[in-house]
Amino acid sequence: MKRFFTFLKTELKLSVRDMNMVIFAIIMPLVIFIILGIIYGTKPAYDGADYTFLEQSFGAVSAIAICASGLMGLPLAVSDLREMKILKRLRVTPVSPVFVLGVELAMYAVYCAVSLVTLSAAALFWGVRLRGSLLAFLGSWVLTMLSTQSIGMLAGGVAKNTKQASVIASILYFPMLIFSGTTLPIEVMPTAMQKIVSFFPLTQGLTMMKNTFLGISTGSVLLPIFVMVGVATLCAGFAVRFFRWE
């Protein structure tokens, strides 16, 4: 465990100095939330709603950090280690792909957690409150984060170089950011598009986060849980199995 935390500490320091994830995973969601707060304040989500627009949007904004870290940051971080020949050196040590991917997963989980804490602190200014179960919300948040980051692990684990990882990350990041509900509400999409984007694990997770935050019961949650757990298991397994050291 000491080796794990030493590697994690080093990777986190280098990542913070780079500032990309600090901007996209922490500052950007916070700025978006503040702008929404300035525009909508304590206004209800719609006429007659029991909750405010900000309360309805909290889950979606918190998912921006998950999307940025899992689909953009993690693949590029792993491919950078490969391109700088660090993985080639690690290959002759007892270090396994599980160790390398685990460190990167933990690092971007830290970014997601910091983002969630800063958003929660900002939400207090507009009186945003959790109307559902805290445990249920955190559970949906963790599932969403793990399923999304597992996709990033697979992309980073199999990409030949940083250029290829960047292309894969862009293909994954932008469609999920736009169509999963983090920026464009799913409710305003055409019915056909709603059915298509419902297969995104981020869409399933975001819907769960929104409902658990607002305390809305939508019946069985087995399908979204099954989708996210299935995606996380398959992607993590393939990432380890087909991991490229060089």
169 exposed, middle or buried (CB, 10 Å; 0-12, 13-18, 19+)?
Answer: buried
Which pLDDT score is estimated for 218? 67
| Tens-digit pLDDT profile for residues 200-244 | 888 888 888 988 998 887 666 788 888 889 989 999 999 999 888
Token pair for 176: 């999920």
CA neighbor of 65 nearest in space, from 182, 200, 201, 158: 182
CA distance readout (Å), 53 to 35, 59, 131, 176 = 12, 11, 13, 22
Question: pLDDT band for position 92 (50/70/90)?
Answer: confident
Token pair for 165: 């990882």
Which pLDDT score is estimated for 9? 92
For residue 145, report the phi and psi dihedrals to the nearest 5 degrees.
-65, -45
Distance CA 158, CA 211 (A): 35
Q: Which segments of 23-172 are extended strands (E)? A: none
One-letter amino acid identity for 56?
Answer: Q
Residue 48: left if φ>0, alpha if ψ -120 to 50, beta else—which one? left
Which pLDDT score is estimated for 37? 92
pTM of the model as a whole: 0.90
Decide if 146 contacts 169 (C-beta within 8 A): no
